[in-house]
C-alpha cells in the first residue's frame, strides 16, 4: 500500500526546493548571458580568443574571483568588508618583505602573507562584535587604518627584486589558460564544501539569515561573524599573493580598485546583501561576466571612463537583482 503525502509535507518539500531552484535559475541565466557576451565580443574583436588574450583574461579572472569570494563570505552574515583591498595590499607588501627583505623561502613567505590577511580580517570581526557597530562602518575605518599603517611601515617603497621561482607562478599556464585558476578552483571548492557540508558554514548562513533566531537556537553568532571576517581576510590575502606573482613585484598602490569587483561577482552570482544565501558557483560566473566585459571593452578600445560607467551600471543591475531575490525569498517564507 503506497504512503500518501500530506499537504503539509508536500508544502515543506516545495519550500526546501525553492532556494535550490532559485540558485539554479540564477546560474543558468548567468551562463546564458556570458555565452551571449562572449559571442558578441569575439565577433567584434577577433583577438578576444587569441592565446595571449585568453591567458591575460583567465589570469585576471582568477584574481577577481578570489576577491569576490573575500566579500561573499562576509555578505553571508549580512555584513560587508570594505577593507578587502587594504587587507590585500598589506598581504602583498608583507609577502614582498619576507621574500626580498628577509630572503625567506617562497612557501614561508606565502604563508606569512596569508597569515597577515587572516589576522587583519580577524581584527575586523573582533571590532564588529565587540563594538556592536555595523561592519560597513568598522571596515570603512580599518580600510584607511590598514592602508595608512602599511604606507608608514614600508615608506611606500615597492619590493621589485623577488625570486624568479616566485615570479614564475604568475606566468605559469596550461595551454592558453593561467595556472592561477587552479588556486581559484581550490579556494572555491573549499568554500563550497564549507557552506554545503560543514557545521560552521551552516552557522554562518543561519547567522546571516536571522541572527536572533540563530542565537536562540544555540548558534554562537559572534564567533561565526569573527570567523567569516577571518575567512574574508584570508581570501584577500590569497588574492594579494596572486597579484604579487602576476606583477612580479609587491606594489603599495595595488588593492584600491578591488571594492567594485568584490561586490559585483557575488551579487551577480546570487549572494544576498541581507545575508543567509551564498553561491560559490554563481560568484565565479559573476566574476567571469565582469572580467569578460572589462576585457572586451578594452579590446574594443573603449575609453577607461566608459569602462567605469559600464561597471557602475552593472553594479546597479546586480543590486536590483539582489533586491528582487531578497523579496522573493521573504515572500516564499525562506527567511526571517
| Tens of pLDDT, residue by residue, the chain (336 residues) | 445 555 545 434 444 454 565 566 677 878 888 898 899 889 988 889 999 999 999 999 999 999 999 999 999 999 999 999 999 999 999 999 999 999 999 999 999 999 999 999 999 999 999 999 999 999 999 999 999 999 999 988 999 999 999 999 999 999 889 999 999 999 999 999 999 999 999 999 999 988 888 888 888 999 999 999 999 999 999 999 999 999 999 999 888 889 888 998 998 888 888 888 889 999 999 999 999 988 988 888 877 777 778 778 887 877 777 667 666 655 555 444
- Locate all alpha helices (DSSP H) within 76-209, ordered by sequence: 84-96, 106-131, 135-154, 164-171, 180-197, 199-209
Asked whether residue 73 is domain-assigned, the answer is yes
Element (H, E) at 178: strand 177-178
Please, what is the angle between helix 280-299 and helix 304-331, to 10°?
A: 160
CA 156, 158, 159: angle at the middle one, nearest 5?
145
In a domain, 29, yes or no: no
- Report if residue 200 sits inside a domain: yes
Domain total in the chain: 1
**Phi and psi, residue 16, nearest 5°:** -70, -30
pLDDT at residue 313 in the model: 82
Give the span between the Cα atoms of 110 and 106, in whole angstroms: 6
161 within domain boundaries: yes
User: Structural domain of residue 159, as residue ranges?
Assistant: 59-256
13 exposure class (CB count in 10 Å sphere: 0-12, 13-18, 19+): exposed
Give the max Cα distance, the chain: 79
| Residue 72 in domain | yes
CA–CA gap between residue 136 and residue 89 (Å, rounded): 19
Cβ count near 119 (within 10 Å): 17
254 backbone dihedrals φ, ψ, rounded to 5°: -80, 150
Residue 37 in any domain: the answer is: no
- Cα(245)–Cα(37) distance, integer angstroms: 29
pLDDT at residue number 261 = 87
Task: Provide the pLDDT for residue 222.
Answer: 94
According to DSSP, the residues that pair with 159 across neighbouring strands are: 250
pTM value is 0.89
Looking at residue 335, what is its pLDDT?
46
Confirm whether 310 is domain-assigned: no
Is residue 263 domain-resident?
no
Q: In a 3-state reduction of DSSP, which class is residue 159? A: strand
Cell 623577488 belongs to 162
* Run of H or E residues at 286: helix 280-299
Amino acid at each position: 500500500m503506497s504512503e500518501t503525502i500530506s499537504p503539509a509535507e508536500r508544502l515543506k518539500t516545495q519550500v526546501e526546493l525553492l532556494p535550490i531552484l532559485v540558485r539554479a535559475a540564477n546560474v543558468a541565466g548567468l551562463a546564458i548571458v556570458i555565452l551571449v557576451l562572449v559571442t558578441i565580443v569575439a565577433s567584434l574583436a577577433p583577438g578576444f580568443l587569441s592565446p595571449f588574450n585568453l591567458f591575460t583574461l583567465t589570469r585576471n579572472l582568477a584574481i577577481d574571483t578570489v576577491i569576490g569570494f573575500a566579500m561573499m563570505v562576509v555578505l553571508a552574515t549580512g555584513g560587508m568588508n570594505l577593507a578587502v583591498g587594504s587587507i590585500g595590499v598589506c598581504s602583498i607588501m608583507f609577502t614582498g618583505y619576507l621574500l626580498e627583505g628577509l630572503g625567506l623561502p617562497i612557501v614561508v613567505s606565502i604563508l606569512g602573507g596569508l597569515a597577515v590577511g587572516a589576522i587583519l580580517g580577524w581584527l575586523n570581526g573582533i571590532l564588529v562584535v565587540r563594538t556592536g557597530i555595523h561592519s560597513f562602518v568598522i571596515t570603512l575605518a580599518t580600510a584607511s587604518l590598514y592602508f595608512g599603517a602599511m604606507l608608514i611601515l614600508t615608506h611606500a617603497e615597492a619590493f621589485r627584486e623577488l625570486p624568479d621561482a616566485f615570479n614564475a607562478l604568475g606566468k605559469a599556464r596550461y595551454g592558453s589558460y593561467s595556472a592561477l585558476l587552479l588556486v581559484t578552483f581550490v579556494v572555491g571548492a573549499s568554500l563550497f564544501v564549507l557552506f554545503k557540508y560543514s557545521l560552521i558554514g551552516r552557522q554562518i548562513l543561519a547567522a546571516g539569515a536571522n541572527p536572533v533566531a540563530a542565537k536562540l537556537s544555540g548558534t554562537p553568532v559572534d564567533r561565526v561573524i569573527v570567523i567569516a571576517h577571518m575567512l574574508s581576510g584570508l581570501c584577500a590575502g590569497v588574492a594579494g599573493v596572486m597579484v604579487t606573482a602576476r606583477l612580479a613585484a609587491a606594489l603599495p598602490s595595488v588593492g584600491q580598485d578591488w571594492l567594485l569587483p568584490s561586490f559585483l561577482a557575488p551579487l551577480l552570482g546570487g549572494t544576498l546583501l541581507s545575508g543567509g544565501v551564498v553561491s560559490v558557483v554563481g560568484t565565479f560566473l559573476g566574476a567571469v561576466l565582469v572580467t569578460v566585459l572589462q576585457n572586451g571593452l578594452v579590446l574594443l578600445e573603449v575609453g577607461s571612463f566608459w569602462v567605469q560607467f559600464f561597471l557602475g551600471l552593472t553594479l546597479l543591475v546586480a543590486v536590483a537583482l539582489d533586491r528582487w531575490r531578497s523579496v522573493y525569498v521573504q515572500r516564499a517564507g525562506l527567511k526571517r
